[in-house]
């Protein structure tokens, strides 16, 4: 039996780990805010792909409580300044046997993990899913539900194939990619415009941001800047990739982005992983990104002040 430890039990982490459990994996979850509810009753997942109950093999408060070694350690926590990926993983990485899997947003998020655990296989994974966690122990899956995965910095290993097979056994499409770096930039082409604009536009859904009006125009301008930075970094994103993202979103159910959900819940936003890293790469390569810089400055202020007007 494949032993899997999941760190970061938000909507994304719970949905995909629950599907792995359906495929026969032994899945242990590190839960924090809803530890009591999940310990008592597990997770109730309401999904467009079929509702299900996910009862983890064990529910832990901290990764150090995990017994033995995991075949896969999945980190699905949000990429926030206070969330140290290496610190979260360290208590669970006990030998080179464990493969580390990052299911997280943003670019340039793998480097520190790879440097800290050079003997462990690292799989970088990009999720395409509309999911929320409306209450403790409850997950709502509204759209999509696919993964793209590959070895960091490139390639497809036997460990990647084994995990992808488990996802496929649970009817989760998991595409293996030789060049996961390109995939991350292509996902940023969606994340960087739609997540920030959803918050800065006062709570706009994906449907409201693709109405061929000023909001869509702003999203397109941000996409052009992402393409320019990616090209400067040697990644061949094109306008065709941007158009595909727009059409994908136009046909998606009206959905609140993960950043908007975090804002409405009073949680810290993933500003650095989605915007900050891209702005810094633009500066390094001398690429002008005025729209990106404006959104970055505004969202940094939102993060600092919060909804209640008090400094964090």
**pLDDT (tens digit per residue) in 156-187:** 999 999 999 999 999 999 999 999 999 999 99
pLDDT reading at 312 higher than 80:
no
Which fold does the domain 3-178 belong to in CATH? Rossmann fold (3.40.50)
- Euclidean distance between CA atoms 206 and 250, whole angstroms: 7
pLDDT of residue 115: 97
Domain with CATH 3.40.50.720 in the chain: 3-178
Measured between alpha carbons, how far apart are the two ends of the chain, in Å?
Answer: 44
User: How would you classify the pairing of strands 138-151 and 122-135?
Assistant: antiparallel
Per the prediction, the chain carries an average pLDDT of 94
Nearest to 16 by CA among 128, 99, 120, 121: 128
Around Cβ 216, how many Cβ atoms within 10 Å? 18
Around Cβ 212, how many Cβ atoms within 10 Å? 9
Q: Where does the pLDDT of residue 293 fall: very low under 50, low under 70, confident under 90, or very high at 90 and above?
A: very high
pLDDT of residue 24: 97
Q: Where does the pLDDT of residue 310 fall: very low under 50, low under 70, confident under 90, or very high at 90 and above?
A: low
- Euclidean distance between CA atoms 285 and 289, whole angstroms: 11
- Euclidean distance between CA atoms 179 and 161, whole angstroms: 15
Q: Where does the pLDDT of residue 33 fall: very low under 50, low under 70, confident under 90, or very high at 90 and above?
A: confident
pLDDT reading at 8 higher than 70:
yes
Q: What is the pLDDT of residues 78-133, one digit of tens each?
A: 888 777 999 999 999 999 999 999 999 988 899 999 999 999 999 999 999 989 99
- Euclidean distance between CA atoms 179 and 153, whole angstroms: 8
Tokens found for residue 284: 């390094």
pLDDT over 70, % of the chain: 98
Q: Where does the pLDDT of residue 238 fall: very low under 50, low under 70, confident under 90, or very high at 90 and above?
A: very high
**36-58: buried (b, 16+ CB within 10 Å) or exposed (e) per residue?**
ebbbeebbebebeeeebebebee
11-39 mean pLDDT: 96
- Euclidean distance between CA atoms 203 and 178, whole angstroms: 36
- Euclidean distance between CA atoms 74 and 81, whole angstroms: 19
Q: How far is CA 58 from the centre of its chain?
A: 23
Tokens found for residue 193: 């415009």
CB–CB of 97/159 below 8 Å?
A: no
Domain with CATH 1.10.1040.10 in the chain: 182-305
pLDDT of residue 32: 86
**H or E stretch covering 261:** helix 258-264
Question: Is the domain covering 182-305 a CATH 1.10.1040.10 domain?
Answer: yes
Q: What is the pLDDT of residues 39-84, one digit of tens each?
A: 999 999 999 999 999 999 999 999 999 999 999 999 999 888 777 9
Predicted TM-score of the model (pTM): 0.88
* Per-position DSSP letters for 286-303, written without gaps between them: T---HHHHHHHHHHHHHH
């Amino acid at each position: 039996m494949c032993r899997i430890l999941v760190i970061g039990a938000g909507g994304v982490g719970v949905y995909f780990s629950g599907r792995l459990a359906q495929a026969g994996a032994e899945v242990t979850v590190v839960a924090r805010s809803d530890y009591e509810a999940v310990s008592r009753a597990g997770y109730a997942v309401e999904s467009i792909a079929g509702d299900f109950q996910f009862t983890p093999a064990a529910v832990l408060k901290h990764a150090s409580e995990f017994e033995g070694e995991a075949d896969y350690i999945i980190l699905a926590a949000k990429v926030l300044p206070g969330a140290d990926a290496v610190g979260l993983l360290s208590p669970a990485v006990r030998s080179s046997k464990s493969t580390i899997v990052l299911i997280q947003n943003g670019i340039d998020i793998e480097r520190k993990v790879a440097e800290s655990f050079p003997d462990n296989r690292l799989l970088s994974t990009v999720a395409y899913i509309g999911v929320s966690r409306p209450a403790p122990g409850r997950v709502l899956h509204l759209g999509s539900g696919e993964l793209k995965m590959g070895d960091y910095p490139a390639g497809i290993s036997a460990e990647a194939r084994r995990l992808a097979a488990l996802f496929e056994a649970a009817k989760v499409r998991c595409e293996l990619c030789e060049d996961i770096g390109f995939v991350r930039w292509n996902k940023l082409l969606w994340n960087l415009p739609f997540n920030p604009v959803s918050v800065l536009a006062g709570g706009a859904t994906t449907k409201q941001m693709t109405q061929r009006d000023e909001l869509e125009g702003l999203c397109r301008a941000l996409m052009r800047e992402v393409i320019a930075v990616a090209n400067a970094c040697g990644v061949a994103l094109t306008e065709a990739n941007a158009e595909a993202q727009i059409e994908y979103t136009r046909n998606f159910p009206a959905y609140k982005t993960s950043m908007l959900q975090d804002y409405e819940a009073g949680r810290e936003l993933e500003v650095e992983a989605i915007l900050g890293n891209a702005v810094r790469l633009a500066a390094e390569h001398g690429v002008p990104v005025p729209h990106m810089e404006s959104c970055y400055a505004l969202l940094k202020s939102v993060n600092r002040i919060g909804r209640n007007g008090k400094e964090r």
